[in-house]
Amino acid sequence: MPAGHGDTPGGSYSPPMSTGTLPATDLRIMVGFDGSPPATRALDGAVNLLQGRAGHIDVVYVAHMPSVAALSPGAVAELELGFDDVERELRGVVGERLRGREDRWDFQRRQGLIAEELLGAAKDAVAAHPAATVVIVVGSSSLVAHRVVGSVAVSLVRHSPVPVVVVP
């Protein structure tokens, strides 16, 4: 065995570090955003993470509609209008929050389960930008319900194919 391999306490293997691989030149940061304090902290964390790096922030609002089977067509249409209003409001909040701090961002609305849609947005970013490093940034909630039944952050950490940063 070459020197430096296996000669650590306990005989564990520590592979050599390589400087031949350069970091990705583009960082794509997916931020789940619903206007809540944890989401706002996640957005601020994404801005800090992107600082001094090439890249882009994709702010993702996920509109979650309850089971459509139990809703009338009129109720579904009303919910859709409500989601449009929320999207406009959140887009404005993000624009104000990032004004003068970061201008490399987009806002998208997706529909479905929050964790699944954030994972979908990350997979889409990987497909569209294969040379980029894609990261999901989410806020952590300390609500008791999230501790009991799980949270979006926990689900993302367990199932994400890309790195996840959970901002406390």
Question: In CATH, what number is assigned to the domain containing residue 118?
Answer: 3.40.50.620
Kindly state whether residue 33 falls inside one of the protein's structural domains.
yes
Give me the pLDDT at residue 108, please.
Answer: 96
Give me the pLDDT at residue 148, please.
Answer: 44
Cα–Cα dist 23/137, whole Å:
19
Kindly state whether residue 96 falls inside one of the protein's structural domains.
yes
Give me the pLDDT at residue 20, please.
Answer: 42
Confirm if 104 and 57 have CB atoms less than 8 A apart: yes
Place of tokens 């882009």: 56
Cα–Cα dist 44/137, whole Å:
10
Kindly state whether residue 17 falls inside one of the protein's structural domains.
no
Residues in the chain predicted with pLDDT less than 50, given as ranges, are 1-22, 145-146, 148-149
Domain span at 147? 24-167
Number of domains the chain is built from? 1
Place of tokens 């449009």: 84
Kindly state whether residue 125 falls inside one of the protein's structural domains.
yes
Give me the pLDDT at residue 102, please.
Answer: 95
Kindly state whether residue 3 falls inside one of the protein's structural domains.
no
| DSSP label at residue 22 | P
Give me the pLDDT at residue 22, please.
Answer: 38
Kindly state whether residue 16 falls inside one of the protein's structural domains.
no
Q: Residue 50 has which token pair?
A: 């992107």
Give me the pLDDT at residue 156, please.
Answer: 84
